[in-house]
Amino acid sequence: MNWGYKILIVIVLFIIGMGTMVSIAMRQKNEMIDEQYYVKELKHQGQIDAENNLNRIAEKLMIKDSLGSLILKIPEAALPNITEGTVVFLRPSDKRMDLNLPLQTDVSGYQFFNKSNFVKGQYKVRISWKSEQKAYYYEQPLFVH
């Protein structure tokens, strides 16, 4: 085989490889996590203040993956008189799997989420609530097993 055929084989393999990469890229989903990105950006200072309110508390908020459920524990100092609250589980790979749930803790600050509502994988958890006229906010990545 002479060098002309080798060059032709390399060019054909390159074209096939580029075609494959283009077809894979065309099938990828590129979705924004937040639909109303600009509106949320305007409210960002309030979110920073709510995060600072939570960081001033010695006891830390806990969310963990247990056998049959996800367990959320709100610190006791941020627990009395919760007037409103939401727990949002954002799935970066597919927004159809996002869950927006109300914050409904028991008297000790625990809330349990059934894992059958979740698909195994990476989520971003956003928890926000008001307690005694103070806003609180927490955000962290979470892998559901």
Element of type H or E holding 13: helix 3-27
Look up residue 136 and give its amino acid. Y
- Per-residue pLDDT tens digits for 28-65: 876 666 667 777 777 788 889 999 999 999 999 999 99
What tokens does 53 get?
């309110």
Q: What is the pTM of this model?
A: 0.72
Domains of the chain: 37-144 (2.60.40.10)
The reported pLDDT for the residue numbered 71 is 95
